[in-house]
Amino acid sequence: MSNSIIKVEGLHKSYQMGNNALHVLKGIDLDIKAGEMVSIMGSSGSGKSTLLNILGILDNHDRGKYYLNNVKIEKMNETRAAKFRNNYIGFIFQSFNLISFKNAMENVALPLYYQNVSRKKRNMRALEYLDRLGLREWANHLPSELSGGQKQRIAIARALISEPKVILADEPTGALDSQTSYEVMDILQEVNQMGITVIIVTHEDDIAHRTQRIIKLRDGLIDRNELNGKYEPVTSSEIFTSN
């Protein structure tokens, strides 16, 4: 057993477009230790979301190996994939992906609904998480009544409520002004300090520099020179001495 929470070896992914295949990931190797905070950068179309969706078991890879918490992830039916996601993963999206006709509390509680937690219990838990994120008094408001920053905090609370080991965030600050972006990054750093592994896709340098490690995707591969070159971890930690 290793302390890798995410280990990827020779990962390939193509999209079939009629008679043509678009080869997006061309042999990705990645090893993320439990408790790390990592950003994934790369130009638009470089496959960042594709990689994150595979890590989050929202999509399948074609070739290569993926181990989540030392469990090999292979093609599985949606029920099993959902179970893995519920146990391990919290997802945060650029566009928040809140349900527009449900209030803040109900949005946060949603993952517990899928775990068959009673309404009373899940609403109580949702209120606790809203409280932690400073949104207790917004519990009965609809997403349309909230600012972008508040919506993303709701989405973070929703991602945290099932106590995931990993938070995967796909451009979580992409729709926010810089002040609000930094507030969201402060929260994600706190989440990481709780011991949760955080992986953030971004194309913004200042956001990436708030993480301990920056991984660059380029031409379907990880650009290793960028990885160990000019970027320094913002906080040193013994996880970096192990490899």
Q: How far is the CB of 166 from Mg ion (least distance, A)?
A: 18
Each residue 97-116 as x (binds ligand ADP by CB under 6 A) or -, in order, gives --------------------
| Residues 27, 10 contacting (CB under 8 angstroms) | yes
Find the binder of ligand ADP among 4, 46, 94, 150 (CB under 6 A).
46
Q: How far is the CB of 214 from Mg ion (least distance, A)?
A: 16
Indicate the residue among 16 and 228 with the shorter CB distance to ligand ADP: 16
Indicate the residue among 44 and 100 with the shorter CB distance to ligand ADP: 44
Find the binder of ligand ADP among 4, 39, 49, 150 (CB under 6 A).
49
24 binds, among Mg ion, ligand ADP, none (CB under 5 to 8 A by kind): ligand ADP
| CA–CA distance, 127 with 86 (Å, rounded to integer) | 19
Indicate the residue among 22 and 227 with the shorter CB distance to ligand ADP: 22
Find the binder of ligand ADP among 7, 33, 48, 216 (CB under 6 A).
48
Each residue 15-44 as x (binds ligand ADP by CB under 6 A) or -, in order, gives x-x----x-x-----------------x-x
Indicate the residue among 42 and 111 with the shorter CB distance to ligand ADP: 42
111 binds, among ligand ADP, Mg ion, none (CB under 5 to 8 A by kind): none
Indicate the residue among 36 and 171 with the shorter CB distance to ligand ADP: 171
134 binds, among Mg ion, ligand ADP, none (CB under 5 to 8 A by kind): none
Indicate the residue among 48 and 153 with the shorter CB distance to Mg ion: 48
| CA–CA distance, 187 with 72 (Å, rounded to integer) | 30
SS3 letters for the chain? CCCEEEEEEEEEEEEEECCEEEEEEEEEEEEEECCCEEEEECCCCCCHHHHHHHHCCCCCCCEEEEEECCEECCCCCHHHHHHHHHHHEEEEECCCCCCCCCCHHHHHHHHHHCCCCCHHHHHHHHHHHHHHCCCHHHCCCCHHHCCHHHHHHHHHHHHHCCCCCEEEEECCCCCCCHHHHHHHHHHHHHHHHCCCEEEEECCCHHHHCCCCEEEEEECCEECHHHHHCCCCCCCCCHHHHCC
Residues engaged in binding ligand ADP (CB under 6 A): 15, 17, 22, 24, 42, 44-50
